Structure 1
């Protein structure tokens, strides 16, 4: 029987996963079975999220034809096709069928759900913006049609939603509620919590965190979620389980800097976060006219502060830990070579979910960050009004899922990845 190059690469990845586990001294495992996934994407152009995630399933972790995840792409749906489209070329190269509906892609043109998971990527493409500056990607529509197919054919499989569900809060909550009701293993979020940290920073679960400040950059919606996810993946490790957020406020101009000057936000912790990111240009950072502050108070009294600055070009978080005189800080590195490795570590988490049937980390983290972001943008549209957020009383228990360079990309995806 002839085997395609795509199937051969997936089999090689499975062998490598088992071999890596055995070399590390773990209990020897059986050869890892390759799992199949359907991909539902908004657009598939070079360097889009579809390219740097789905491309790694087709062409390996480095997208160079080498070893990749123990996943096989069984089908593809593309919502918008442009003159820069890669989907037709890649589908022809790897013999992947493209379908004209989400249901057909999830069923691979049959009358059942034969795939082991679905990857939904509603990011990039020509979609409208609302008056709060949120680009209305079709993430809820994608999820609805995916899960409608689950209902119709009476089977659910794990689903990953790229970045934040929604992006509008009502859509995010609807998606979460449907996943809960249908008992769908559901995961979402940014690649940055999984990427390299410079310097490397590990915060043990249950740490006594006294203060935290995050710094993000670029668009408030498109990059604000990345910065919030980085912030939350660290502060969720504070003593006690996460219980959600009491209120959210957006500040800018003098009101933003007054929060520092008045000591509402720790100047020392802010300085540590700022020192961890590269600057764009010179001059007084307070002259940054497009800067903004997401300020939010958790239900346990902890204060969240995320500065969105256009005078920097990376994301960082600084923490003041009890018993330590100086804050600790790290930059979440968006390395670009080879082939966006932060997406490789995100795909590893997706691979683990598809193989185990369990999310690698709680969907509630991303639901909470989605809500904070939506409410911050709402506050901005209301001239900085502080918004009570009883809907964000979202409780969850964080897990110690590792970031790059651990786990090893060739590790067994069916083994728990905790450290």
Structure 2
């Protein structure tokens, strides 16, 4: 019999599949996942400069056209709840390819929509396809990487997510110099075709059969029920959703406010919108530095407080007209920066409570964020197309998020949450 020698050393950790990749394979993976991640912001933001033109073309109201934005967000919310668990059960590739193919068909149909009602319905279907791309991209990262390697790859994808909203309105404005709003949807369909080819040829299955979830719909509903019974988790999810509502109120109203009220053309609007997105991205990256010295709980409280004050200032400037466009934009950009600090920390604090169900919790979080955003977008249109209407919803979202944090979550309850998840999410 051979004796076993105990060296006193812990066995070496098995490398993750991603760590076994060559640099060339990792680069290809980043390009594939980055393309999938970009489709969401492009779909939401690329047609924003055309919203006034769509109103004129269909001879309808701004509120009706803003419902087309709501349709995309609703599709994203519903799609995440469905596709997240589905990809855990059957694998990543099949839901991804089917979802993006559906996106291509919906985009082509949007280009020939005969009415604003049909366009809104097709935008819901578009949102379902976008959900497949975004959910699967994040799931693939979780399948392949862990720890620092996970954070590094995720940071690259988040930069893509940040750059896409900056470029999307500018790209849309550029397209509108050569075509009408229907051409924007043809361009999105073409991008979707590229994504189908990229996913089919460049992305292998990352969830082996032995790791797929069993139990079907009953088990999924049981996990969702457990999450919804956690008061702190639900409160933090609502905080993230209300911060997202403030962001999407700006997205829905800015094209009308900046173009119709302040006279910017489509290209100038794209630049002004992009400047706000730069502030949002800068805040999310600055959050990483702040986490080295401050707790995520403290950052969240301060960010929401600052965002609420900036929201009230925005409302005051919109009502009084003091300072004109510059003061309106500066206060808006401060709100966006505050949202950029709140949105990484609130979700990560929520997910740190349920590491055993991170996928399902992420799907619920995303559904609430885009669902609340879907409600905020038409509310701006119902109140009007001016700066006051947009400011009311933006300020209301930040104030409501602060109220939920203080009353429902209660910052003292956050003291025991693990900060490592927040650091990971902030990268």
TM-score by length of 1: 0.28
RCO greater where, 1 or 2, for CA within 8 Å and sep 6 or more? 2
- Determine which structure has the larger strand proportion and give its number: 1
> If each structure's helix is expressed as a fraction of its own residues, which one has the higher value?
2
TM-score normalised by L of structure 2: 0.28
